[in-house]
Amino acid sequence: MQALIEATDIHAWYGTSHVLHGIDFRLQPGETLGLLGRNGMGKTTLIRTLLGHVPQRAGSIRMRGRDLSRGRPYEAARQGTAYVPEGRGIFPNLTVRENLVMAARAGTAGQRDWTLQRVLDTFPRLAERMDHLGSQLSGGEQQMLSIGRALMTNPDALILDEATEGLAPLIVAEIWRVLGEIRRTGLATVVVDRSYRTVMANADRLMLLEKGRVVLEGPAADLQEQPQALSRYLGV
Ligand SMILES: Nc1ncnc2c1ncn2[C@@H]1O[C@H](COP(=O)(O)OP(=O)(O)OP(=O)(O)O)[C@@H](O)[C@H]1O
């Protein structure tokens, strides 16, 4: 099966600071990958490098077989990879409806499975806020809007960086419920989240980063049985 994302020997730098040290990364169609590691270990940088946001990088990056080693973020989006960044990235001066509609497009195979209606059915709270501006939404609603916008692009892969950060427990539960639904539709997802237990319970495969290197990788069910390794790398 052709991988949605296949990257080998990825390095990244911020100025003279060498942050990623030779990471191999693969995302298969339909799988949920949990990316774990303590603060500052390189999770966000890895995602941003794969998507072409970090200019100082080396290594090979392919999306659906296409070489994007020197690719720009819009090229990753065109290859079906949608990104929900930390901090959400919605348009504060546009309404919920405008934020969603302007993101709409067909997927890589021309699919239009995610319509405005389906996104609103998935997030009923957004349906109630259609004419509110992005800036008028609560943090949880903004996060739902950010995920809704990503779904409107009919992606093959959805990458979520700290999607539940700073949100109230009920909203966190709601977001994980939706991620479960999305997972069952067969959309591949990469999830970065601090609540490692929830990630473990909701992912097929886990990858642990430590100082810009992969230190542990495998099926979530296997890693759950290695509490010493998890406590060593996650400090839990
Ligand atoms: N824009 C930047 N300029 C310089 N250094 C950066 C920048 N962004 C991140 N770093 C550094 O790169 C390293 C990796 O950071 P990164 O944000 O990728 O880690 P992370 O695992 O996602 O952590 P967090 O959970 O805190 O976001 C850290 O040492 C961080 O200080």
pLDDT-derived band at 215 (thresholds 50, 70, 90) equals: very high
Q: Ligand 1 pocket, 40 CB below 6 A?
A: yes
pLDDT of 82 > 90? The answer is yes
- Nearest-angstrom CA–CA distance, 219 and 201: 11
Domains in the chain, number:
1
Indicate the burial class of 63 (C-beta count within 10 angstroms; 0-12, 13-18, 19 or more): buried
Which ligand 1 atom is nearest residue 44's CA?
22
Full domain range(s) for residue 134:
5-234
32-80 pLDDT, tens digit each: 999 999 999 999 999 999 999 999 999 999 999 999 999 999 999 999 9
Query: Residue 20's beta-bridge partner residues?
Result: 12
Q: Ligand 1 pocket, 166 CB below 6 A?
A: no
- Residue 213 — φ and ψ, nearest 5°? -130, 150
Can you give the pLDDT at residue 50? 97
CATH number of domain containing 93: 3.40.50.300
Dihedral angle of Cα 25, 176, 194, 159, to the nearest 10 degrees: 30
Q: At what angle do helices 139-152 and 169-184 cross, to 10 degrees?
A: 10
- What H or E segment, with its residue span, contains residue 198? helix 196-202
Can you give the pLDDT at residue 14? 97
Can you give the pLDDT at residue 88? 75
Q: Ligand 1 pocket, 41 CB below 6 A?
A: yes
